């Protein structure tokens, strides 16, 4: 169906920020107040129970992830459509009613889907590469952490700290105690995420200090050896060399005399 229809004709627009992959699928065709939809927050793997499609539909699966206050809004030709128009209709109720299709807009066919692209509060455009320092022959160590690891929640259990704080702000402004309580566990995960990276940086610093001390000891030893060579007494070294040479010749001569003559020696 999505290949046969131009979804843009429905003048649908998502509003809000979230890292979830939302999908809204029409399971029963009709106009607003009659059409029924299911909502997925994990790109279609699980779905919510059916609910009424309204001009302003809250994109939230009660059995899924936490509510990020994302809404799907439709508009009329004048762009002023809402869930309630005085003396015309009120879609805040789950009750279906008969409305004039021409006054409500386009008929939504069964099977059509509206797909939300993840839209986080903060988009990071920096480098995702780690800088590494050479601390020994063939041995390097990372000297930084990435924004994804620290704040943007890289990995399966990662937490997008900026999106979390924005969601907490919305819950506080709305005085939504349930939403705040539901976010406390996620807030603790975000704190642990930062503490873990802090601990990793601390371990790296300790390794760098240990390597620095090792290199300083090696440098001191090399300088001592170099000093022994540079401070050598040339005259004394020459005498020692001559004595060693004489001793070597004496040893060779003595060894030669100790070798007994053979038959080949007499034949010569």
Q: What tokens appear for 119 in the block?
A: 């839209």
Question: Coil, strand, or helix at residue 77?
Answer: coil
CA atoms within 13 A on the CB side of 84: 3
Q: What tokens appear for 224 in the block?
A: 């001592």
| Phi–psi pair at 245, nearest 5 degrees | -65, -45
Entry pTM: 0.52
Q: Indicate the pLDDT class of residue 19, thresholds 50, 70 and 90.
A: confident
Q: What is the pLDDT of residues 195-221, one digit of tens each?
A: 888 888 888 888 888 888 888 888 888
Task: List the chain domain ranges.
Answer: 7-115, 132-214
Average pLDDT score, the chain: 75
Of 55, 58, 61, 111, residue with least CA distance to 84 = 55
Nearest-angstrom CA–CA distance, 210 and 217 = 11
Residue holding tokens 């009660």? 62
């Amino acid at each position: 169906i999505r290949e046969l229809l131009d979804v843009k004709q429905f003048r649908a627009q998502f509003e809000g920020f979230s890292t979830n992959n939302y999908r809204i699928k029409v399971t029963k065709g009709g106009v607003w107040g009659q059409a029924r939809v299911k909502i997925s927050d994990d790109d279609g793997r699980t779905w919510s129970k059916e609910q009424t499609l309204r001009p302003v539909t809250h994109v939230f699966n009660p059995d899924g992830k936490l509510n990020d206050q994302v809404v799907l809004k439709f508009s009329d030709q004048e762009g002023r459509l809402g869930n309630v128009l005085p003396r015309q209709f009120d879609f805040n109720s789950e009750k279906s009613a008969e409305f004039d299709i021409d006054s409500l807009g386009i008929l939504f066919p069964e099977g059509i889907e509206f797909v939300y692209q993840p839209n986080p509060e903060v988009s990071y455009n920096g480098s995702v590469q780690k800088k590494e320092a050479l601390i020994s022959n063939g041995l390097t160590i990372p000297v930084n952490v990435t924004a994804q690891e620290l704040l943007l929640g890289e990995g399966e259990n990662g937490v997008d700290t900026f999106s979390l704080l924005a969601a907490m702000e919305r819950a506080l402004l709305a005085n939504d105690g349930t939403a705040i309580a539901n976010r406390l566990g996620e807030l603790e995960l975000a704190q642990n995420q930062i503490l873990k990276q802090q601990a990793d940086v601390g371990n790296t610093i300790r390794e760098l200090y240990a390597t620095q001390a090792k290199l300083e000891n090696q440098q001191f030893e090399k300088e001592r050896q170099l000093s022994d060579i540079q401070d050598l007494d040339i005259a004394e070294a020459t005498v020692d060399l001559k004595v060693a040479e004489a001793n070597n010749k004496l040893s060779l001569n003595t060894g030669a005399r100790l070798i007994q003559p053979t038959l080949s020696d007499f034949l010569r």
